[in-house]
């Protein structure tokens, strides 16, 4: 074989190897494309399912968004309505504020007038208090004078009763004396008689109360030798009733039988106008005489 033939044989061999390599490569490539095609179909199915899911989700999101938009629009409408109401209320409040300010101004003026009126009233009250004080002082003076007049009236009543009782006793003594004198003239005796039951008041003016009495007529009085009383002194006995001056009365004369420092025992001289009682008064002379 010639060299050319060898070269050709070698070239054929190389060409065969190249063709075989291409055939193998094409086979391998076709096998890989089928796998990739299957994978692509699987991916396409997944993507189709995902697209459907995404579309459903997008639809739901759109619906939710539409609902939210509708709700927001409704809320905005409510807000606008509330804003209109608030604006109207604000305008009303401004009007009310203006009225209140005007009213406050008027009330301030009235308050000033009230302060002036109160000051005037306070001055009037002070003047009335001064007048009331004068009237009270005058009333107190009148009450004291009335009490003095009442005491004087009581004293006058007692003096009157004492004078009447004394007049009766003197009249009785005079009649007794006249009878004694008549008897003495008839018997040719002396025309003088002994004076019975003479009064002997203490030199100092004293006054006390009857503490106790007994059925025999003896009584204990609240003054004694410390007041200047001694045995034999006489006191005037009387009863005062400030609530009913007309019931006050002169009772008679009593004589001191015993006297210590703070009290004494006395006995009526003659018949009393009324039985003595605890609380009756004794004095060296009748009040006001």
* pLDDT of amino acid 138: 87
Q: Does residue 3 sit within a domain? A: no
Q: Does residue 183 sit within a domain? A: yes
Distance of CA 17 to the CA centre of its chain: 131
Position 196 confidence tier, pLDDT thresholds 50, 70, 90: very low
Q: Does residue 21 sit within a domain? A: no
Residue-wise pLDDT for 154-187, tens only, equals 767 776 766 666 666 666 655 666 666 666 666 5
Q: Does residue 10 sit within a domain? A: no
Number of domains in the chain: 1
b/e sequence 32-60, b meaning 16+ C-beta within 10 Å: eeeeeeeeeeeeeeeeeeeeeeeeeeeee
Residue 130 sits at the vertex; the CA angle it makes with 127 and 132, to the nearest 5 degrees, is: 110
| CATH number of the domain where residue 214 is located | 2.40.10.410
Per-residue pLDDT at 190 exceeds 50? no
Q: What is the mean pLDDT of the chain?
A: 82
Cβ atoms < 10 Å from Cβ of 217: 14
Q: Does residue 199 sit within a domain? A: yes
* pLDDT of amino acid 256: 95
Residue 173, domain extent: 165-283
* Comparison of pLDDT for 89 and 4, the residue scoring more: 89
Position 217 confidence tier, pLDDT thresholds 50, 70, 90: confident
Residue-wise pLDDT for 22-46, tens only, equals 888 887 777 776 677 788 788 888 8
């Amino acid at each position: 074989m010639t060299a050319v033939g060898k070269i050709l044989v070698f070239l054929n061999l190389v060409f065969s190897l190249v063709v075989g390599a291409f055939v193998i490569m094409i086979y391998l490539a076709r096998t890989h494309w089928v796998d990739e095609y299957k994978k692509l179909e699987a991916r396409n199915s997944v993507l189709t399912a995902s697209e459907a899911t995404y579309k459903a989700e997008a639809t739901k999101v759109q619906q939710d968004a539409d609902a939210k938009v509708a709700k927001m629009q409704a809320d905005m409408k409510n807000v606008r309505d509330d804003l209109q109401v608030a604006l109207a209320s604000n305008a009303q409040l401004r009007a009310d504020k203006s009225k209140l300010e005007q009213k406050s101004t008027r009330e301030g003026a009235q308050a000033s007038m009230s302060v002036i009126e109160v000051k005037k009233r306070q001055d009037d009250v002070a003047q009335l208090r001064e007048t009331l004080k004068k009237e009270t002082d005058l009333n107190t003076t009148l009450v004291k004078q009335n009490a003095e007049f009442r005491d004087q009236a009581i004293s006058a009543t007692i003096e009157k009763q004492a004078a009447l009782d004394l007049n009766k006793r003197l009249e009785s003594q005079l009649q007794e004396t006249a009878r004694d004198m008549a008897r003495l003239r008839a018997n040719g005796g002396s025309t003088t008689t002994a004076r019975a039951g003479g009064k002997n008041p203490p030199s100092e003016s004293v006054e006390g109360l009857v503490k106790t009495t007994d059925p025999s007529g003896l009584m204990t009085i609240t003054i004694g030798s410390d007041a200047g009383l001694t045995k034999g002194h006489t006191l005037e006995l009387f009863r005062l009733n400030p609530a009913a001056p007309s019931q006050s009365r002169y009772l008679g004369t009593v004589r001191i039988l015993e006297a210590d420092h703070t009290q004494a025992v006395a006995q009526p001289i003659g018949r009393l106008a009324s039985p003595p009682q605890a609380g009756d008064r004794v004095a060296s002379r009748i009040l006001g005489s």
